[in-house]
């Protein structure tokens, strides 16, 4: 009757059957438990010892080689469920701590990049959270403001978490980006490009061996997370080139270069 519920806290079907038999029938010997559950007596003894170790069954020896088994209070099940929930959370935290290195080792051994796809708001937030978990400086080539429009509430949380973890962020983005101005307090330095010439509509982030490519438009919010040292290194080279080229008054310099190129092109055209 209750076996399915008891199973959900981690007991086997046979353990749950024995506990339910004791709760329903009261204290009894292993032989009687075997009859009520249709389990072999030797197996019943084995399971009873496990339940005793879990604190769900109490064993009382009445004479040599004879014991009576009785159930612990059902609240013990709740305590066990809470204990296992806590252990599962601790295991998740521990796994998160070693997962990046495990993935890196896997990618190196297999020779293939780890590529994962994410969709929608929650999917993109998972990417950003994973980048934060790297706890290393982040280089960004950002959009002209879609993140602020699409996930404004999370964009501020991302900045707060990044600051709390001491993660510095270098940003290349159009001058119209409203949330990524240079800010020592927010551990961020930004160099801008003219939005009319370079209307970027995606967010690229590079950290350690990971590269994220994200589009933030509501109708097509998708992200790709790549974990591969060579791919990441090439993106770092591209970022460095952009960063260094924007060092001196970037917007005017690029605009001036574009104008010079346009002027030179028009001067070279001759009429017949």
Domains observed in the chain: 3-77 (1.10.10.10), 113-262 (3.30.870.10)
The whole-number pLDDT of residue 260 equals 40
The whole-number pLDDT of residue 121 equals 87
How far, in Å, CA of 54 to CA of 56, rounded?
Answer: 6
The whole-number pLDDT of residue 91 equals 92
Give the three-class secondary structure for 224: strand
Q: Is the pLDDT of residue 231 over 50?
A: yes
The whole-number pLDDT of residue 64 equals 74
Residue of higher predicted confidence among 140 and 179: 140
Paired residues of 226 in beta bridges: 115, 211
Arithmetic mean of pLDDT over the chain: 83
The whole-number pLDDT of residue 43 equals 94
Residue 40's pLDDT band (cuts 50, 70, 90): very high
For residue 14 the two structure tokens come to 């046979």
Residue of higher predicted confidence among 101 and 127: 127
For residue 132 the two structure tokens come to 């934060």
The whole-number pLDDT of residue 262 equals 45
Check: CB of residue 219 under 8 Å from CB of residue 213.
no
Residue 192's pLDDT band (cuts 50, 70, 90): confident
The whole-number pLDDT of residue 198 equals 79
Nearest CA to 169 out of 202, 204, 198 is that of 204
For residue 81 the two structure tokens come to 């469920």
The whole-number pLDDT of residue 247 equals 67
For residue 11 the two structure tokens come to 């007991």
- Report, as an integer, the average pLDDT of 227-245: 93
The whole-number pLDDT of residue 147 equals 62
Nearest CA to 225 out of 246, 205, 239, 200 is that of 205
How many residues in the chain?
272
Residue 98's pLDDT band (cuts 50, 70, 90): confident
Nearest CA to 87 out of 16, 19, 9, 14 is that of 9
- Report, as an integer, the average pLDDT of 224-253: 82
Torsion of CA 78, 84, 86, 90, to 10 degrees: 180
Residue 178's pLDDT band (cuts 50, 70, 90): low
- Report, as an integer, the average pLDDT of 47-58: 92
The whole-number pLDDT of residue 145 equals 65
Angle at 56 between CA 54 and CA 61, to 5 degrees: 100
Q: For the ranges 14-18, 93-97, 103-107, which has the lowest average pLDDT?
A: 103-107
User: With b meaning 16 or more CB within 10 Å and e meaning fewer, what string describes 66-98?
Assistant: eeebebbeeeebeebeeeeeeeeeeeeeeeeee
The whole-number pLDDT of residue 225 equals 94
- Report, as an integer, the average pLDDT of 89-110: 80
Q: What is the pTM of this model?
A: 0.58
Residue 109's pLDDT band (cuts 50, 70, 90): confident
What is the DSSP code (8-state) at residue 271? -
How far, in Å, CA of 117 to CA of 112, rounded?
Answer: 16
């Amino acid at each position: 009757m209750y076996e399915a519920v008891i199973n959900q806290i981690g007991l086997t079907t046979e353990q749950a059957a024995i506990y339910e038999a004791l709760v329903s029938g009261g204290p009894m010997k292993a032989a009687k438990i075997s009859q009520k559950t249709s389990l072999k007596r030797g197996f019943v003894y084995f399971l009873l010892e496990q339940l005793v170790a879990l604190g769900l069954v109490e064993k009382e020896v009445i004479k040599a080689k004879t014991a009576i088994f009785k159930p612990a209070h059902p609240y013990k099940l709740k305590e066990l469920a809470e204990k296992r929930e806590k252990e599962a959370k601790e295991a998740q935290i521990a796994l998160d701590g070693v997962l990046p290195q495990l993935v890196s080792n896997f990618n190196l051994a297999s020779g293939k990049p780890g590529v994962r796809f994410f969709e929608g708001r929650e999917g993109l937030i998972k990417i950003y959270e994973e980048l934060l978990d790297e706890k290393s400086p982040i280089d960004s080539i950002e959009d002209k403001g879609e993140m602020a429009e699409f996930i404004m509430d999370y964009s501020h949380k991302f900045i707060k978490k990044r600051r709390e973890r001491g993660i510095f962020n270098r940003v290349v983005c159009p001058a119209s980006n409203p949330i990524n101005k240079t800010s020592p307090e927010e551990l961020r330095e930004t160099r801008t490009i003219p939005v009319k010439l370079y209307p970027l509509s995606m967010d690229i982030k590079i950290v350690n061996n990971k590269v994220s490519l994200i589009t933030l438009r509501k109708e097509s919010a998708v992200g790709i997370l790549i974990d591969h040292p060579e791919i990441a290194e090439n993106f770092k080279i591209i970022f460095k080139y952009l960063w260094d080229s924007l060092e001196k008054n970037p917007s005017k310099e690029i605009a001036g270069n574009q104008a010079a190129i346009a002027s030179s092109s028009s001067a070279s055209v001759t009429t017949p």
